[in-house]
Chain A
Amino acid sequence: MGEADRVEPGAGGVGRVVAALGLGAVLLLAGCGKDDGAGVRSQGSASGSGTGSGTGSGLAGQDLSGTTNDQLVLKAVADYKTWVVAEVDGLVADTAKFTDAVRAGDVAEAKKQYAPSRVRWERIEPIAGLVEEIDGAVDARVDDFEGVDDPAFTGWHRLEYHLWEKGSTAGTKTFADRLDKDLATLDQKMKGLEFPPAAVALGPAELIEEVSEGKITGEEDRYSHTDLSDFAANVDGSRKLFELLTPSLQAKDATLTSEITAGFAAVDKSLSEYANPDGSFDLYTALQAVDKTRMQAELADLSEKLARIPGVLGLKG
């Protein structure tokens, strides 16, 4: 994400919340922006990064104070953390293949490793956004900066720009090193991060919002056009959360649970048209207008239903 994240440097946590998607923005506008719900900010949530380099995902801007005593939900939260920590371990390794290729000056190999290196990041993006400053450093898009030459423009998309637009790795070693370093920090901090139940409940909708906001528009990976890979990873991450929450959801709202299941199936079917046997996806430029339109509707409908999860789970702030 780095989607909309960057708002006035120095504006602090509140300012950037405005850029957050969906609920976060609504809450703030409604004057109830307690984005630091009990214990969350101290864990590193939506406070200002101070670097002006973009910041957290939508979740980082949301009220995560809601909690529950539902043991099924609490188990889902614990299981989710276990899964995320493992994903971040894999993320560090996947990304090393990418950054090693960059440092070796192997443009072709680096391009090949770019999309795969992002998959695990995109799966856990909202929760990773709770770790201060990481999102803006590793995944901000150029829109968050004055231009591509801004030294604060770092992370995957900076490297993507050099590889696809310049066809060169010249001058990119510092960015490759920085990406590895930032992800190592993420890996370390994630293990100590307390996962708010509300983040787990809001996560499924947040991930689909990511798709609707940046991937389906082709803005996320504008140089490489590998947006559909990110798209699939966001959906996978959303589904993982939903599956973990399903035991509790099923007991409380079986109708909604089956509607969500059907919603994921519809998105999967549409996306499968662009999937390749090796796990990769066609380029965004191959996406047919009619399919894009259908996917937009499927995602929007799924978002409406996923947004009800915190209510069904009865999270109380």
Chain B
Amino acid sequence: MRGDHPTGARPARLGRRAFLGSAALGSAALGAAALAGCTSDEASGQGPGRRVPFLGDHQPGIDTPAAHFGLLAAFNLVSEDRARLARSLRDLTDEARALMEARPPERRDTAYPPAETGMLGPGGRTDGLAVTLSVGASLFDDRFGLAGRQPTELVRMPFLSNDRLDPAQTHGDLLLSLSADQPDVLLHALRQLMRRTRDNLVLHWMLDGYNRPDAAPVPGRTDNRNLLGFKDGTANLDITDKGLMDELIWVGADDGEPAWAVGGSYQAVRIIRMFVEFWDRTPLNEQQKIIGRDKASGAPLGQDRESDDPGYGDDPAGRRVPLDAHIRMANPRTAGTAGSRILRRGFNFSRGFDNAGRLDQGLAFVSYQRSLSKGFLAVQARLKGEPLEEYILPVGGGFFFALPGVTSEDAWLGQQLLA
């Protein structure tokens, strides 16, 4: 896998680039834009007019090009009424679509509150906004009669190695994952989505942050860095490789999952605090051994270029890349571990400081995979006890399932789940 990790941040790895996909802008985005009826300007994939198509077999925001900013908002449901849940999902679908397609807001008399925030000005900017809706394991408890429809691996995220999960920022009935190239678009979208669903959705936790996606993504390289200062995204999956996405990301018809789940994806979210002051006091040599890459170039230790293979085959004793280096444990690059590669879509966060005066910074790790056990959990198990654990602390997140996409005008997210 590239993937290195779950832990995020890891080091250099994955992040975005890959997923950004290289050619993504060229082919996928263009095609998508064309389908959405965008102008050629929008189709260029840049600027306020960039649109990510809403309709599709899969939800946007997963295998679509990475954006500069991300926001996660987890909600709990107030009502135990299944019909009301359906209404909320319909409203979320309609609002997400309106936001992503820049649908003009309803015009109202000035004696009414305005229909939208106005933050984006008239004319409707989208800036590559993608809204992704996922469900948590708790949705399948006894409230909505969905117990028999739970994805087979969707469980309440347990405490994993090194975890100190804070209930106030962990789990949730629903999760909205937003991404866009400008932060105001995210805040606008969040407010509009919440406004539509106030009677039933109550915020449980939220987190926002940023990335530095590559302008012209090339698999195997990235300029994106995490808050440890290492490249993050080098070995992420190539989202333009549809065969790879089908193999590793999307739940298939023969996976033994409920029929409604086909086309969806398991989503692992980990809020990983990084003790950056402590890290900054650590010798560079040690930092690089912990990660397994040269900090400046991103090259695997002992190699010249970021995109070079680490060459574990002729380094069985870990003389170049230590056996417990993050990239090596996360992705041993063996035939047996190829199936555990995951698609990472996280972002860096900074949210003030703790009561010890330490910066509260880290990585919102987000991964998508066809199977939690074969994907995230396999990677996480390999990373148990890695030296990096001393510098990081998972404090929240949860396991979710990203619903399949909406393919027709009148369909809504979760429709098959509730059918």
Residues of A bordering B, CB below 8 Å: 23, 66, 293-294, 296-298, 300-301, 303-304, 307-308, 310-317
Contacts and interface: CB of A to CB of B under 8 A. Distances in A.
Interface in B195-224: 195, 198-202
Nearest to A299: B198
Contact of A311 (B109, B195, B198, B202): B109
A308 B112 contact: yes
Contacts of B201: 297
B113 interface: yes
A301 B198 contact: yes
Nearest to A316: B111
29 contacts: A23-B113, A293-B76, A293-B78, A293-B202, A294-B78, A296-B202, A297-B198, A297-B199, A297-B200, A297-B201, A297-B202, A298-B78, A300-B198, A301-B198, A301-B199, A303-B198, A304-B195, A304-B198, A310-B111, A310-B112, A311-B109, A311-B111, A311-B112, A311-B113, A312-B112, A313-B111, A314-B111, A316-B111, A317-B111
A308 B113 contact: yes
Given A293-B76, A310-B111, 13 more contacts: A23-B113, A297-B199, A297-B201, A298-B78, A300-B198, A301-B199, A303-B198, A304-B198, A311-B113, A313-B111, A314-B109, A314-B111, A315-B111
Interface string B77-101: 0100000000000000000000000
B249 to A, nearest CB: 34
A129 B200 CA distance: 32
Nearest to B117: A26
A312 B111 CA distance: 8
Contacts of B110: 317
Nearest to B199: A301
Interface centre among B109, B195, B198 (most CB of A within 10 A): B198
B108 interface: yes
Bin chain B's interface residue count. 10 to 19
A199 to B, nearest CB: 14
A300 B108 CA distance: 21
Nearest to B118: A30
B100 to A, nearest CB: 23
A312 B112 CA distance: 7
Contacts of B112: 308, 310-312
Contacts of A300: 198-199
A146 B202 CA distance: 34
A109 to B, nearest CB: 40
B173 to A, nearest CB: 12
Contacts of B202: 293, 296-297
B144 to A, nearest CB: 16
A143 B112 CA distance: 32
Contacts of A311: 108-109, 111-113
A301 B199 CA distance: 5
A-B CB proximity, top 4 nearest: A311-B112, A301-B199, A300-B198, A297-B78
Interface centre among A297, A310, A314, A317 (most CB of B within 10 A): A297
A301 B112 CA distance: 16
Contacts of B108: 311
Contacts of A308: 112-113
A207 to B, nearest CB: 17
B295 to A, nearest CB: 44
B113 A298 contact: no
A163 B201 CA distance: 39
B161 to A, nearest CB: 30
Nearest to B200: A297
A301 B194 CA distance: 10
Contacts of A66: 111
A310 B111 CA distance: 6
Contacts of A303: 198
Interface centre among B76, B109, B111, B199 (most CB of A within 10 A): B111
